[in-house]
Amino acid sequence: MLEHKGPIYSELRRMRLKAELLVKRPCSPEENEAYRTLTEGNEPLPEGVYRNEEVWDLRQPDSFYTLEDGGLTEGEKQEYILLAQLDQLRVIKGCVIFFTVLTVLSLVLALVLPAL
């Protein structure tokens, strides 16, 4: 999949996780311990295993995870992406309408107030 191929692939993996097209599966405590000994010995992690960069639990400083497919077919992924884009376009449209109305109101007020 997207194994240790550079910053672009890391960013693509992060975006797929954010869009929930990929799912994180936490490793078991035994697997975490094995991967921790690998990283302490400067050995590379096995393919498909990643270090958890969200360190919020001080009791477990080094944890690892693997990635699984989100379970969507290619058609469902395309539909999800298109619907997400449509939703974002609606937000942009709302912002454009808001600022257009705000501009028109300010122009009308600028023309009306000096006349008073």
pLDDT in tens, 11-32: 888 888 888 889 989 889 899 8
Asked if 21 and 78 count as a contact pair (C-beta separation under 8 A), the reply is: no
- Same structural domain for residues 57 and 95? no
Q: Where residue 60 falls among pLDDT bands split at 50, 70, 90?
A: low
Judged against a pLDDT cut of 70, whether residue 80 lies above it is answered with: yes
Number of structural domains (the chain) is 2
User: How distant is the alpha carbon of residue 90 from its chain centre?
Assistant: 20
pTM over the 0.85 mark: no
With vertex at residue 88, the alpha carbon angle to CA 20 and CA 69, rounded to the nearest 5 degrees, is 15
- Same structural domain for residues 37 and 49? yes
Helices (H) and strands (E) in the chain, counts: 3, 3
Structural domain containing residue 49: 7-69
Asked if residue 27 is part of any domain, the answer here is yes
Mean pLDDT of the chain: 86
Q: Kindly list the distances between the CA atom of residue 5 and the CA atoms of 46, 54, 55, 71, 99, in Å, as whole numbers in the listed order.
A: 14, 21, 23, 24, 43
